[in-house]
Copies of this chain bind each other. A is one copy, B any other.
Amino acid sequence: MSNHRVTPIIAVEESQTLDTVSRLKVACSNCNLRELCMPIGITNSEMDRLDELVYFRRKIKRGEAVYRSGEPFEALYAIRTGFFKTRLTVQDGRDQVTGFSMAGELLGLDGISSDSHTVDAVALEDSEVCMIPYSQLESLSTEIPSLLTHFHKVMSREIVRENSVMMLLGTMRAEERLAAFLLNLSQRMHSRGYAALEFHLRMTREEIGSYLGMKLETVSRLFSRFQADALIEVEQKYVRIRDIDGLKAIYAHHTH
């Protein structure tokens, strides 16, 4: 949980804005997310090949899905701007938020296993993604070894992240989970150049609760308690961390 890092491999810079799907060529080479997403040490000619790979851009409005469970898998999506949740739903209607993703991270890895998606990826704010046709990624990666290596690391990182969530859900108490969640968000904001100690939550209490395996009322009560204990300030979606070491102490359950 605490060492979550930027996951995607590729993202592109837009050159102009279209309504839904851009068929314009857009260039990874200019993208300001490049150093988050790309393998390091890639050559200029390799970069040109990547620019050819990623040539669709899609805008996703708040509440819309990039893809849904059951849809055929065709592409991965690098988040250029915005914020997403991924959600697993089963027959009887129960669902589980399996992750939150932000700029520079990659969506769609679940689809590779069976050529169809197994989760929904839903935008929590108006967002923009770069489409990476999967078959082309696979063939291009056989020609650019550093791209392949990087892609494997991204997938493995997702496995490691999910291991941490299993630990969180399996062994931690509600207050520890919420502290871990806030610390993880803080760290990811920070690594993108945003303020580490002050941010707006994009998700509801219910979505946080689903991710952390607790009810929205419990999330709300814990936010109130953290505020009373001077660990944070909360007001609706706005959060300011006032005592990050205090949160870390809770996360490491140094508190009883």
**Chain A interface residues (CB < 8 Å from chain B):** 88, 90-92, 94-96, 98, 109-114, 118-119, 138-139, 141-143, 145, 148-149, 152-160, 162-167, 169-172, 210-213, 252-253
User: A113's contact among B114, B156, B252, by CB below 8 Å, is which?
Assistant: B156
Inter-subunit contact B149/A138 (CB<8 Å): yes
Q: Is the interface of A mostly helix, strand, loop or mixed?
A: helix
9 residue pairs of the A-B complex, CB under 8 angstroms, read A88-B167, A98-B163, A110-B156, A110-B163, A111-B156, A139-B145, A159-B159, A169-B170, A170-B211
Residues of B contacting A154 in the complex (Cβ-Cβ under 8 angstroms): 113
Q: Is A159 touching B110 in the complex (CB atoms < 8 A)?
A: yes
Q: Which residues of B contact A94 (CB under 8 A)?
A: 167, 171-172
Contacts of A170 on B, CB cut-off 8 Å?
96, 169, 210-213
* A253, B159: Cβ atoms closer than 8 Å: no
Apart from A113-B159, A162-B163, A170-B213, 7 more pairs, CB < 8 Å: A88-B164, A98-B166, A112-B152, A118-B163, A138-B152, A141-B142, A155-B155
Q: How far does the alpha carbon of A125 sit from the alpha carbon of B94 in the complex, in Å?
A: 36
- Which of chain B's residues has its CB closest to A213's CB? B170
Identical chains bound together, number: 2
CA distance A90 to B254 in the complex (A): 13
Instruction: Note all chain B residues with C-beta closer than 8 A to A145.
Output: 138-139, 142
Given contacts A169-B169, A169-B213, contact A159 B92 (CB under 8 A): no
Are A110 and B160 in touch, CB under 8 angstroms?
yes
CB of B252 within 8 A of CB of A96, answer no
Q: Is the beta-carbon distance between A166 and B167 smaller than 8 angstroms?
A: no
- B residues within 8 A CB of A152? 112, 138, 155
A98-B166, A152-B138 as given contacts; A213 in contact with B160, CB under 8 Å: no
The smallest C-beta distance from A49 to any residue of chain B, in angstroms, reads 15
Q: Which residues of B contact A211 (CB under 8 A)?
A: 170
A92 CB → nearest B CB, Å = 6
Most buried by B among A152, A157, A210, A213: A152
Chain B residues, CB < 8 A from A95: 171
User: Do the beta carbons of B113 and A163 come within 8 Å of each other?
Assistant: no
Could you tell me the distance in whole angstroms from the C-beta of A150 to the nearest C-beta in chain B?
11
The reply to whether B138 and A142 contact each other, CB–CB distance below 8 Å, is: no
